[in-house]
């Protein structure tokens, strides 16, 4: 997909990855970009600074996603690209992660993508074209040590993206899943701890990788190239990979 003259919606758009993608899409000549975020004030400020549209939206509320899609179509015409990008960290492993933490992570990292697809796919399928970009994480392909709810729900987000690509690819729908490691945003500060990242990149760097991947219409968006090799090793020998991850966890706990 070339972004010139396209209409894009980006949830989680007021800062970090979402804002950087919006900036990059506008630089590529997008006809309209709509930012959506939980805070009406934050998204209005970001939209004004970038020169695009902004809407308050709680992505865990399906009706609000439907309203966002309908408003965008009414204002700018058919949506070419929907970036379901909102997310947040969730600490804890199993016994120390309360049920409400698991549920909130599930609603934010999985159901928000389901709601977005339900809302936007009918009009895309009717036109025979459209693109979904869902933000997951390298943790969804591998693991985030010390964060069970985050790892598990991000893995589910990857699987949902695969399912959408399989189910709707023959109807003209393209799907990509964004799986970064550390990005310099409010969610991931400069220090992430031993073994948890191959380097923290800037959000603008990530956004350029997104643009390039959309142009090539590849499924994985991997701003940290090493992740692809880690996934390959995991697939080659899962038992060896699990053993290595246990060793890494022990080093992290002792460090």
Supply the pLDDT for residue 195: 42
Q: Which pLDDT does position 163 carry in this prediction?
A: 98
Give the Cα separation of 88 and 153 in Å (integer): 11
Q: Cα-flanking dihedrals φ and ψ of residue 254, to 5°?
A: -80, -20
| CA 116 distance to own-chain centroid | 12
- CA-to-CA dists, residue 224 to 141, 229, 232, 237, 254, angstroms: 12, 10, 14, 22, 26
pLDDT tens digits, the chain, 255 residues: what are they? Answer: 999 999 999 999 999 999 999 999 999 999 999 999 999 999 999 999 999 999 999 999 999 999 999 999 999 999 999 999 999 987 777 778 889 999 999 999 999 999 999 999 999 999 999 999 999 999 999 998 888 999 999 999 999 999 999 999 999 999 999 999 988 876 554 444 444 567 889 999 999 999 999 999 999 999 999 999 999 999 999 999 999 999 988 887 776
How many Å apart are CA 55 and CA 40, to the nearest integer?
Answer: 7
Please tell me the distance from the alpha carbon of residue 132 to that of residue 173, in angstroms, as a whole number. Answer: 8
Distances (CA, A) of 199 to 15, 24, 181: 20, 22, 8
Q: What are residue 8's DSSP bridge partners?
A: 33, 81
Give the containing element (helix H, strand E) for 37.
Answer: strand 32-37
Residue found by looking up tokens 């350029």 in the block: 208
Instruction: Quote the pTM value.
Output: 0.92
Residue 171: exposure state from Cβ atoms within 10 A (0-12, 13-18, ≥19): middle
CA pair distance 228, 121, nearest whole angstrom:
29
Give catalytic residues, as residue numbers. 150
How far apart (Å, rounded) are the C-alpha atoms in residues 161 and 18?
A: 18
Q: Where are the strands (E) in 38-186, listed by range?
A: 53-56, 81-84, 130-135, 173-178
What pairs with residue 56 in β-bridges? 37
pLDDT of residue 187: 56
Of 205, 202, 99, 111, residue with least CA distance to 153: 111
Count the Cβ atoms, other than its own, within 10 Å of residue 58.
18
Structural domains of the chain in order of their starting residue, each with its CATH number: 7-227 (3.40.50.720)
pLDDT at position 192 is 47
The Cα–Cα gap between 36 and 168 comes to 25
């Amino acid at each position: 997909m070339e972004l010139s003259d396209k209409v894009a919606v980006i949830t989680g758009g007021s800062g970090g990855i979402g804002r950087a993608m919006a900036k990059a899409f506008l630089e590529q000549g997008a006809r309209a970009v709509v930012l959506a975020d939980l805070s009406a004030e934050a998204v209005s400020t970001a939209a004004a600074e970038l020169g695009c549209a902004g809407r308050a939206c709680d992505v865990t509320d399906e009706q609000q996603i439907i309203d966002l899609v309908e408003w965008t179509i009414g204002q700018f015409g058919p949506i070419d690209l929907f970036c379901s990008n909102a997310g947040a960290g969730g600490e804890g492993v199993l016994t120390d992660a309360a049920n409400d933490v698991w549920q909130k992570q599930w609603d934010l990292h999985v159901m928000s993508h389901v709601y977005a697809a339900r809302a936007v796919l009918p009009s895309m399928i009717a036109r025979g074209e459209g693109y979904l970009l869902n933000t997951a994480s390298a943790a969804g392909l591998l693991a985030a040590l010390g964060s069970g709810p985050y790892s598990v729900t991000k893995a589910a987000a990857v699987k949902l993206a695969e399912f959408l690509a399989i189910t709707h690819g023959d109807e003209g729908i393209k799907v990509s899943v964004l799986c970064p490691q550390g990005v310099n945003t409010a969610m991931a500060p400069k220090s992430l701890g031993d073994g948890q990242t191959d380097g923290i990149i800037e959000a603008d760097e990530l956004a350029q990788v997104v643009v390039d991947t959309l142009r090539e219409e590849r499924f994985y968006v991997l701003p940290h190239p090493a992740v692809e090799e880690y996934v390959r090793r995991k697939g080659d020998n899962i038992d060896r990979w699990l053993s290595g991850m246990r060793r890494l966890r022990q080093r992290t706990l002792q460090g």
